[in-house]
DNA sequence: CGGTAAATTGACTGCTCTCAATTTACGTGG
DNA sequence: CCACGTAAATTGAGAGCAGTCAATTTACCG
């Protein structure tokens, strides 16, 4: 139970990096366990595994049972709901510090979304039972979990307000601004999403998303830095969204 | 501190019904305190007040500080976000058993929405400090709060998927189905929302909402029972949403 | 019964979708 | 390193849906 043995769930789109060493985690201040004393990690019954996923890699699938939640150390994850018609609607984009799969804390409830990496992702898989054990001895963890859920609520509300309201152009602009918040590289540039993902985020067709992106590029609001990497004119995009009567 | 004195926040759209008597609450099984022993309510430092609000009455306003969360005993409440442009977007509709204002549990955070009654509402105002006190002695309350937040997350996700996706007609149909779930009267009939509210829920203009409702009435999917009260053809509306290629 | 607000309806514009053709990007194997 | 094949992105043309603005009708409160 203690050796560095690859877990059974190992597969091609998920690369195991080892057991997580929470007490030496470089970004623990951002994470779920930020307030826990180091000694608490010494005698966990189940291991916390650390994974890397390539874009397209699946963390978990809607409707399936499971026993781990994922804490995102790096990268960008999309949460999707599938509609009766079969198509997928993206309901959230999450980056560093977010925890996904917390719905499992209600006993018997399966994952509510399909969670997929849209950029290379580094996650820790925390067993629900471990969470419950730690919670029993550290009531402050309960607050951290509550804050995580509140974060999801706030994100969802902001999503409804900014990404699902108004004309197509403004919604795409808001999406670009969101990407700048969630997943900027060291220069503040962003990786654009595939057009179908953009469409599934804001609720339009990929063609319309493509037209708007092309238009933004022609107008210099968006400049290609490298394949997939773009620099955005943040302030001009913000003005674009707020003033709908602008002369832009 | 113990007598039946009207609280200072008394105002015209909010009618005080008295101190809540949680241990004899008729619908406690649905509420936040369902698992707490009756004795715990005996020595609360601050009172839990019981209010009734008429449609249009405000529970709290976005950005303002506060010290109580509201547990909905009866009626329908809308949560609104105001956009920079000034208009309001409705991000949630909540009925019996839901608790709103839980964002206050993060110290220093103001209310994130404006909460307004859309139908006559009966609520209990629970001081945040009371919640914290009870939580300290009853860890299971922490689970109830977590479940409440999870409920809000699930609702928000469902909102994005059903009310903010697809053509206008389907979204209005989904809204009618949601109202049937949240606030059916004893006959299963519903109170329609004002057209501006419908528009603010699904993200369209009041005119378009009106046209669709009028069309539903002409096609017999919706029948007026009394002023404001309508009977809906639930199954036909469901078919309408699911099969977009239907011959309806 | 009158006044105001809400809802309905019409005409027209314009945005977004649909379907299809074309171009570009990218991974694979020679 | 280049050529190729596939997938993604872009672009075009046309139709239909939803928005806008305005007029009219209906509902509701006092």
Query: pLDDT tens-digit profile of A182-235?
Result: 999 999 999 999 999 999 999 999 999 999 999 999 999 999 999 889 999 999
**SS3 category, A225:** strand
Q: The domain A167-242: what is its CATH number?
A: 1.10.10.10
Q: How far apart are CA B177 and CA B189, in angstroms?
A: 11
DSSP β-ladder status, B68-74 and B121-127: antiparallel
**Are A142 and B147 within 8 A, CB to CB?**
no
pLDDT value of position A217: 96
Nearest to A31 by CA among A20, A43, A16: A20
Q: What are phi and psi for residue B23, nearest 5 degrees?
A: -70, -15
Q: CA-CA distances (angstroms) from residue B185 to B56, B90, B197? A: 20, 23, 20
Q: What are phi and psi for residue B188, nearest 5 degrees?
A: 85, 5
What are the residues facing A121 on neighbouring strands? Answer: A53
Please, are residues B117 and B59 in contact by the beta-carbon 8 Å criterion? yes
Is the pLDDT at A8 greater than 70, yes or no?
A: no
In chain A, CATH 1.10.10.10 covers 167-242
Q: What is the percentage of chain B residues whose pLDDT exceeds 70?
A: 93
Is the pLDDT at B4 greater than 60, yes or no?
A: no
CATH superfamily of domain region A14-162: Jelly Rolls (2.60.120.10)
**R_g of chain A computed on alpha carbons:** 19
Candidates A88, A109, A149, partner chain B, best to mutate (most B CBs within 10 A): A149
> pLDDT tens digit string along A13-61?
788 877 878 888 878 777 788 888 888 888 788 889 999 999 999 999 9
Q: Provide DSSP, B70-134.
A: EEEEES-EEEEEE-TTS-EEEEEEE-TT-EE-GGGGSTTPPPSSEEEESS-EEEEEEEHHHHHHH
Confidence of residue A247 (pLDDT cuts 50, 70, 90): very low
Q: How far apart are CA A180 and CA A241, in angstroms?
A: 15
**Are B89 and A153 within 8 A, CB to CB?**
no
Which residues in chain B are closer than 8 Å to A165, comparing Cβ atoms?
A: 83, 89, 203
**Alpha helices, H only, chain A:** 128-137, 139-163, 168-182, 195-202, 206-218, 234-242
Residue B53, burial from CB neighbour count under 10 angstroms (0-12, 13-18, 19+): buried
Which residues in chain A are closer than 8 Å to B166, comparing Cβ atoms?
A: 203
Q: How far apart are CA A66 and CA A60, in angstroms?
A: 8
> pLDDT tens digit string along B5-37?
555 444 567 888 778 788 888 787 777 888 888
pLDDT value of position B79: 98
Q: How far apart are CA B100 and CA A159, in angstroms?
A: 19
Q: How far apart are CA A24 and CA A32, in angstroms?
A: 14
Q: Select the more confidently predicted residue: A67 or B33.
A: A67
Spell out the residues 6+ positions from residue A106 whose beta carbon is closer than 8 angstroms to its own.
Answer: B147, B150
Q: CA-CA distances (angstroms) from residue A52 to A76, A141, A212? A: 12, 25, 33
Cβ contact B228 with chain C strand, < 7 A: no
Q: How far apart are CA A175 and CA A191, in angstroms?
A: 12
**R_g of chain B computed on alpha carbons:** 19
State CA B96 to chain mean position distance. Answer: 7
Residue B211: nearest nucleotide (C-alpha to C1'): C8
Tell me B188's DSSP state.
S
What are the residues facing B80 on neighbouring strands? Answer: B90, B114
In chain A, CATH 2.60.120.10 covers 14-162
Q: What is the percentage of chain B residues whose pLDDT exceeds 90?
A: 72
**Are A157 and B156 within 8 A, CB to CB?**
yes
Per-residue tokens: B140: 């299971």
Is the pLDDT at A11 greater than 80, yes or no?
A: no
> pLDDT tens digit string along A137-190?
888 899 999 999 999 999 999 999 999 999 999 999 999 999 999 999 999 999
Cβ contact A223 with chain D strand, < 7 A: no
Q: What are phi and psi for residue A230, nearest 5 degrees?
A: -135, 150
Task: List all nucleotides in chain D with at least one atom under 7 A from a protein Cβ.
Answer: 8-13, 17-22, 27-28
Per-residue tokens: B36: 């707490």
> pLDDT tens digit string along B122-141?
999 999 999 999 998 888 89
Which residues in chain B are closer than 8 Å to A145, comparing Cβ atoms?
A: 146
- Averaged pLDDT for residues A115-127: 95
pLDDT value of position A248: 36
Tell me B158's DSSP state.
H
**Are B165 and A85 within 8 A, CB to CB?**
no
Is the pLDDT at B83 greater than 60, yes or no?
A: yes
Angle between helices B139-163 and A139-163 (to 10 degrees): 20
């Amino acid at each position: 139970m203690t050796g560095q043995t690859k877990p059974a769930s190992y597969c091609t789109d998920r690369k195991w990096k080892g057991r997580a060493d929470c007490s030496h985690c470089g970004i623990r201040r951002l994470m779920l366990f930020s307030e826990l004393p180091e000694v608490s990690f010494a005698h966990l019954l189940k291991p916390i595994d650390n994974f890397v996923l390539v874009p397209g890699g699946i963390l978990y699938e809607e409707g399936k049972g499971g026993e781990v939640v994922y804490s995102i150390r790096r990268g960008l994850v999309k949460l999707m709901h599938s509609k009766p018609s079969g198509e997928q609607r993206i309901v959230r984009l999450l980056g560093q510090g977010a925890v996904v799969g917390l719905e499992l804390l209600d006993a018997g409830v399966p994952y509510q979304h399909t969670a997929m990496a849209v950029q290379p992702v580094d996650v820790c898989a925390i067993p629900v039972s471990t969470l419950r054990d730690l919670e029993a001895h550290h009531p402050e963890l309960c607050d951290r979990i509550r804050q995580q859920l509140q974060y999801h609520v706030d994100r969802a509300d902001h999503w409804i307000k900014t990404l699902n309201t108004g004309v197509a152009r403004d919604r795409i602009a808001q999406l670009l601004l969101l990407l700048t918040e969630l997943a900027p590289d060291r220069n503040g540039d962003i990786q654009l999403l595939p057009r179908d993902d953009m469409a599934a985020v804001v609720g339009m067709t990929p063609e319309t998303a493509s037209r708007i992106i092309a238009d933004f590029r022609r107008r210099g609001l968006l400049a290609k830095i490298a394949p997939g990497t773009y620099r955005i004119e943040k302030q001009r995009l913000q003005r674009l969204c707020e003033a709908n009567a602008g002369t832009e």
